[in-house]
Structure 1
Amino acid sequence: MPVAVIESLDHEGRGFTRVDGKAVFVDGALPGETVEYRVVRQRPSYDLAELERVLKPSGQRVVPPCPHYGTCGGCSMQHFDSVAQAATKQRVLEDALWHIAKVTPAVMYPAIHGPAWGYRYRARIGVRMVPSKGGVLIGFHERRSSYIADMQSCAVLPAHVSALLPALHELVAGLSIPDRLPQIEIAVSEDITVLVFRNLMPFTPQDIARLAAFADAHGVQVWQQPGSPATAKPLHPKKGPGLAYTLPEFDVTLDFLPTDFTQVNVDINRLLIRRSMQLLDPQPGERIADLFCGLGNFSLPIARRGAHVIGVEGSDTLVARALKNARRNGLAERTEFYAANLFETTEDSLAALGRLDKLLIDPPREGAIAVVKALSEQQMPPRIVYVSCNPATLARDAAVLVREKGYVLRGAGIANMFPQTSHVESIALFERG
């Protein structure tokens, strides 16, 4: 069995080393450890390997608390101290900015930390009927597999949701269509938990009675989704309080539906918004664009500071939700929202937004390359705050902003939005040089 000393972690949380000049990525290994490993896939320039035995452990290695860890693909770093995880993600961000964009932030902001466990207020778990494995399986996908990890608990879900998993197995097994329920979407707000059952066939009256009894017994709302997300609707109770989350620092409450996109980690989201407002520094009278604005997560705090916000989002549904949230919070006069495909942004479409004093960008993993390329002398705000969920596309876009558009990267840092995973959420500040 080959032995190696691990040099560092890669962007997926795998141990990295070189053996005879060839890169080797070892799942489950940590920097500084001496490990035995087994190669599972060979490529011309690198090998992928599984950890067999730790001969000399890192001082940052911890015992994973979850019994499903190693099989379930929901987490990949439970064996790594939570504080050390954030430090590693900072290095991943720095490396991406340097190797892809050849830029270094003038300041690295302190990592934004929050709860390491029970933080995941949004999740989509798979359901499979597998008679050879005992019946219904419910859980996240197994690591690097399409199979479902059969979860009886989950350390990153809120405790009350984790406790529901055994009862969910029993519920689904008793329905008439357990093999036609591919997933359950979970959405938790401060007072309400909603379970959305994706049903490929209609529920029978007996199914509906079972689901209603489950909802009443566990204090949750049960929804069904027979088609696209737009088809999701309450099953039991038919009418009840809606999902919402609060941003107390900005006196803002945002309503959402269980199928809407919202951040999974409420605590980190609040801290990320706080830092965004510190960097953006909205002032009364300024016109600020919030691109990829969603349902108003950043737009409404900006407006609360007195600026006028132009929110642009690709989803008509989220634009409608943002408008409603603005009205609910008494901010309709300071906000305007539009639906547009920001991946096709042009100089003309940016110019149509009017004068912009500042810009906030919060794109999906694909980044915002069309937006940054469309910036022109006529529409080039002096300050841009960029919130990213993918260091590689942030770095790619940073290269355009710095090399082609004349911006300076004043600072960058991570927010540990997904503890126990290799996901890197970050924030960066760009200013005209």
Structure 2
Amino acid sequence: MTEATDKKEAPAAYDEWLRVESLDLDAQGVAHKADGMVVFIEGALPFEEVRLNVHRKKNNWAQGTVTAIRKESSQRVRPGCPHFGLHAGACGGCKMQHLDAAAQVAVKQRSLEDNLWHLGKVRPENVLRPLEGPAWHYRYRARLSVRHVVKKGTVLIGFHERKSRYLADMQVCPVLPAQVSAMLMPLRALIGSMDARETCPQIELACGDSPGGTGLGVIALVLRHLEPLSAADVARLKDFAAGNEGVQWWLQSKGPETVKLLEEGGPALAYTLPEFGVTMPFKPTDFTQVNPHINRVLVGRALRLLDVRPDERVIDWFCGLGNFTLPLASRAREVLGIEGSDTLVGRAGANYERNRAAVPGRRALSPTTFVARNLFDMTPAMLVADGAADKWLVDPPREGAFALAKALADLHQQVEPHDGGWTPPKRIVYVSCNPSTLARDAGLLVHQAGYRCTHAGVVNMFPHTAHVESIAVFERA
């Protein structure tokens, strides 16, 4: 038996036409050669007949880029961004702009269902209608790299080129808010004029809502600078902010703890959840959802699926700065929010106090406690110590909530009754940003912890990308 080899070589053309069967989560078409070899094809869509150049090959699969299309998919569309594509220098930020937006959602839904079945052996009893929002100008958070390219005599700001360490020469970005997209070239000119143009590697973008929550508010730009800024550079930044409505400069000299506002005063960076009468101030380096339009709808759907009653206690695991916790506190008797970051726990507590009082259309928020804990080290004893809750909301990072699900499964399998009369939650709503870790955890909940997966569906938080956000509901069997 020969050992598999990984050949990275100059692109080689395939003469035969291949029929594309499906699309993987990297937005590559999947086809088979006549000899059975699997071929992954960048730029190809399902049911197309294509030729390609192969640039990577193993014994049982190959990877390449489409060079010709003999039969085109009816779902192929013209990309909405001039920097998207397979050409040299193309931006690598999006992967699916050549596919109709509705078809993108269908691909993600299939990925969710495939992961649940193949990794967790779980089939949801009901498939939820996908949550969708604007396909363009939705991205209120982004980490933009900055490079002064001496050979080109210019500064580049944006995302990396497709499969490259070089920055794309981006002049616009239609997934960013229109006002921010229009600011890219002026930002390039600004950095190019600065004394520190060689030592500013990054600008982190975080946008807030307008006071009424109806549009774009504060545009926070966090400038990472490796050396102290000169007085002239500080003046340049202030002039730029004065000439661009809503812009606030924040400076970051080292780690996230060094982030500070350049000029005090002005409106606070915040987002709103109008359905629950809640306003959430945050710092530009705090974790918040990239897409505020979808986040509002997601929070509403999660609470409706959880069906929280006024006499119930709820735990919000991985609560962050309170995105779900505060809406839960507007419905439940009592809420416990648990989060791994001390900074976010402090921010969540401050947000709770800010929103605690009753407002028109909403009663005062229920008693709510926030705790900082490493949720990747959960044990059954720790779970019991947190007390019984009627329902759980779980919103983990990409790593998922394996330790939490495992602790719950271990308690379910214990023969002896739990200390203090602890009982498992009767319903869990799990919000996921990684279908594979959701599937793994769902397998534990269904096959070892005594739950049924009653609902699951996708949340299109990141249109035109391969990122899959989803939501699933688990009921005690």
Given the two structures, how large is their TM-score scaled by the length of structure 2?
0.89
**Displacement after TM superposition at 1:256 (Å):** 0.5
Deviations 1:73-94 (A, max 9, x none): 1100000101111111100101
Aligned mates of 1:294, 1:43 — CA distance in 2: 43
User: Alignment partner of 1:212: what SS?
Assistant: helix
Aligned mates of 1:333, 1:116 — CA distance in 2: 36
Decide whether the 8 Å contact of 1:242 with 1:257 is kept in 2.
Answer: no
Root-mean-square deviation (Å) = 1.2
Q: What does residue range 244-323 of structure 1 map to in structure 2 within 5 Å?
A: 244-323=270-349
**Displacement after TM superposition at 1:134 (Å):** 2.9
Aligned mates of 2:225, 2:324 — CA distance in 1: 34
Instruction: Identify the residue that residue 401 of structure 1 maps to in structure 2.
Output: 445
- Matching of residue 420 in structure 1 with residue 464 in structure 2: yes
- Matching of residue 215 in structure 1 with residue 237 in structure 2: no
**Displacement after TM superposition at 1:61 (Å):** 0.4
Decide whether the 8 Å contact of 1:126 with 1:139 is kept in 2.
Answer: yes
Q: What does residue range 71-82 of structure 1 map to in structure 2 within 5 Å?
A: 71-82=90-101
User: Alignment partner of 1:169: what SS?
Assistant: helix
User: Alignment partner of 2:56: what SS?
Assistant: strand
Aligned mates of 1:293, 1:22 — CA distance in 2: 45
Structure 1, 323-332 or 275-284: larger mean CA deviation: 323-332
Q: What does residue range 124-139 of structure 1 map to in structure 2 within 5 Å?
A: 124-139=143-158
2:375 to 329, 342, 356: 342
Aligned mates of 2:124, 2:110 — CA distance in 1: 12
**Pair member with larger Rg:** 2
Aligned mates of 1:308, 1:134 — CA distance in 2: 59
User: Alignment partner of 1:180: what SS?
Assistant: coil
Aligned mates of 2:334, 2:60 — CA distance in 1: 52
User: Alignment partner of 1:322: what SS?
Assistant: helix
User: Alignment partner of 2:151: what SS?
Assistant: helix
Task: Give 5+ residue unaligned stretches, structure 1.
Answer: none
Identity %: 54
Decide whether the 8 Å contact of 2:326 with 2:365 is kept in 1.
Answer: no
**Displacement after TM superposition at 1:332 (Å):** 6.3
Task: Give 5+ residue unaligned stretches, structure 2.
Answer: 1-12, 210-216, 357-363, 413-417
- Matching of residue 144 in structure 1 with residue 198 in structure 2: no
Aligned mates of 1:320, 1:96 — CA distance in 2: 35
- Matching of residue 431 in structure 1 with residue 466 in structure 2: no
Decide whether the 8 Å contact of 2:143 with 2:204 is kept in 1.
Answer: yes
Deviations 1:268-317 (A, max 9, x none): 11111111011111111211111110000011111111331111111111
User: Alignment partner of 1:189: what SS?
Assistant: strand
User: Alignment partner of 1:400: what SS?
Assistant: helix
Aligned mates of 1:422, 1:73 — CA distance in 2: 11
Aligned mates of 1:323, 1:226 — CA distance in 2: 27
**Displacement after TM superposition at 1:135 (Å):** 2.6
Decide whether the 8 Å contact of 1:282 with 1:307 is kept in 2.
Answer: no
- Matching of residue 224 in structure 1 with residue 251 in structure 2: yes
User: Alignment partner of 2:198: what SS?
Assistant: helix
Given the two structures, how large is their TM-score scaled by the length of structure 1?
0.98
User: Alignment partner of 1:133: what SS?
Assistant: coil
Aligned mates of 2:129, 2:366 — CA distance in 1: 35
Aligned mates of 1:230, 1:66 — CA distance in 2: 35
**Displacement after TM superposition at 1:7 (Å):** 0.4
Deviations 1:183-230 (A, max 9, x none): 100111112111110011110000001000001001211111001111
Aligned mates of 2:272, 2:151 — CA distance in 1: 45
